[in-house]
Structure 1
Amino acid sequence: MNSTTSTYNAFKQIALLVLTPHCFDTYFTDLNFLDKQCFAASLSKGLGIGIILGSVLVKLPQIMKIYNSKTAKGISLTSVSLDLTVISIYASYNYLKQFPLSAWGDTAFLAIQTVAIGFLLLYYDVSVLKAFAYLITYLIFVVILVSGLVSIDVLWTLQGINIPLLLAGRIIQVYANYCNGNTGQLSAVTYALLFLGSLARIFTSVQETGDTMVILTNVFSFLANLVIVGQIAYYWKGEQKIKKIK
């Protein structure tokens, strides 16, 4: 009996990572597996956790591509920095609003990886001193955002600015790709994962936050990533045709 109880309690603790207590009872006590609200809530939680786990490595292909080639040619520092600013404001706002971690936790890992990309870009293509100055400046910026020195009202306003910043960053990268006639060191794997993650985030932000600014940020992030993915596919096809001709 004790063993059975322990197993049940362990199962319940794991299930509650995805299910609310109400939905756990609905599924496993009432045996009602057709509850629409619980399905939507559980799907959102599951997607959120999946996105967070995936975000741990989502930009690693991009980082490794820069590291292995010892250059970030084709990647815009301005675009990376704007992206990093958007991610950091978004994460800080959600953190201070105490929204569920499953609704925004991936941005913490994305921020770490994005600042790494900016650091490597400067380290290999500009100077080591500027690379470390960039990193230190960013860390100070993050501490100010999450320490409470910036009020939630200001962060809400910054959330509104996030959308044009996000679009500006992507437009700069899109234009750089157009001018170069290729996507340089941009990783197809990374942007494909970002595209899929931003699509899923639209659903989880609607389900778990209901915050208009958060939802709109994810919608525009999805659209911006779609354009980059489209460019990567377009130039890749062009390169394949050239190779066939040769």
Structure 2
Amino acid sequence: MEGENNPVLNPEVIQNSELANDKSMLLKVCTVLSYTVIFNTCIYKAPQVYAIIHSGSSAGISLTSVILEWIAYSIMLTYHFAKDYPLETYLEIVLMVLQDAILTAIIVVNRELVNWKVIPYTFAYMLAFIVIALNWLSESLMIIVIGMTTPILCWSKVDQLMEILWTKDPGSLSTLSWFITVYDTGVRILTTMVILKDMAMFINLTVSEILNIAIFSSIVYFNFKKNRNAWKPVELTQ
């Protein structure tokens, strides 16, 4: 009886204390993982950019896919900012938006697609960026906007996946860049579950991760197949 009345010995109190400690530890793990994502994101497009510059070709890369990814991550960035989420939960998205913009510019220049027609699209992008970031939309519209990133990212990644499967050649696509993408998205699924508890973001990231793994696996498979064929011994004819 005395033990039950003592809060120190009460099993329920002990259990709650253990749960609190576990949750605290999980939050610390998520914070550490968040910083690894930020570090990875600093360089995640660098191998891809290097591959294009080194080879002088952007073959195998779907420009549509890159632009759609850029738009989707821009929406995610402005949504997180408008919701006043902790910076460490989305800092890497800032870097992803910048690197996607750089990669888009490099591909456009490489394919000689620069012309005046891009100006209206640039202004439309900037206007949408400002409107969402400053939270000028109603809550219902914000939910619709963040929900749009799922089909946009799906379209982006499916387009890139189909490009690989159709040509059976990943071209200058970087295996390292896509590995980093798979890792970072996996971590963000965990931090979204533990810290943000945002179902819309969780669904978005989960769908994105499935397609990331499919693209990464396709790049690895076709590169392996290409390298194996390159090393196949040549038969000597009599």
TM-score above 0.5: yes
- 2:41 corresponds to which of 52, 55, 64: 55
- 2:60 corresponds to which of 60, 74, 85: 74
Matched, 1:83 2:91: no
Q: How many residues align?
A: 214
In structure 2, what is the equivalent of residue 188 of structure 1?
A: 175
127-136 vs 181-190, greater mean Cα deviation: 127-136
In structure 2, what is the equivalent of residue 234 of structure 1?
A: 221
Letter in 2 for 1:158: V
Unaligned runs of at least 5 residues, structure 2: 1-17, 234-238
Matched, 1:103 2:89: yes
Q: Distance in 1 between matches of 2:161 and 2:168?
A: 10
Q: Which has the larger radius of gyration?
A: 2
Q: Is the 8 A contact 2:82 2:132 kept in 1?
A: no
Aligned positions of 1:168-179 closer than 5 A: 168-179=155-166
- Offset, 1:38: 0.9
Q: Percent identity?
A: 19
Query: Which is bigger in relative contact order (C-alpha 8 A, separation at least 6)?
Result: 2
Q: Is the 8 A contact 1:74 1:184 kept in 2?
A: yes
- Offset, 1:174: 0.9
Cα RMSD over matched residues?
A: 2.1
- Offset, 1:134: 8.4
Local SS of the residue matching 1:86: helix
- 1:37 corresponds to which of 23, 37, 44: 23
Q: Distance in 2 between matches of 1:135 and 1:63?
A: 23
Letter in 1 for 2:62: S
- Offset, 1:40: 0.6
- Offset, 1:108: 0.7
Q: Distance in 1 between matches of 2:88 and 2:116?
A: 35
Letter in 2 for 1:153: S
Q: Is the 8 A contact 1:123 1:131 kept in 2?
A: no
- Offset, 1:158: 1.6
Q: Is the 8 A contact 1:99 1:208 kept in 2?
A: no
- 1:209 corresponds to which of 196, 207, 221: 196
Q: Is the 8 A contact 2:175 2:216 kept in 1?
A: yes
Cα distance, 1:130–1:71 mapped onto 2, change above 3 Å:
farther
Q: Distance in 2 between matches of 1:36 and 1:184?
A: 46
In structure 1, what is the equivalent of residue 143 of structure 2?
A: 156
Q: Is the 8 A contact 2:70 2:100 kept in 1?
A: yes
- Offset, 1:130: 5.8
Local SS of the residue matching 2:170: coil
Offset from partner CA, 1:58-98 (integer Å, 9 cap, x none): 11111121222233111111111111111111111111111
Q: Is the 8 A contact 1:74 1:185 kept in 2?
A: yes
178-187 vs 129-138, greater mean Cα deviation: 129-138
Q: Is the 8 A contact 1:188 1:229 kept in 2?
A: yes
Local SS of the residue matching 1:35: helix
In structure 2, what is the equivalent of residue 16 of structure 1?
A: none
In structure 2, what is the equivalent of residue 65 of structure 1?
A: 51
Q: Is the 8 A contact 1:119 1:134 kept in 2?
A: no
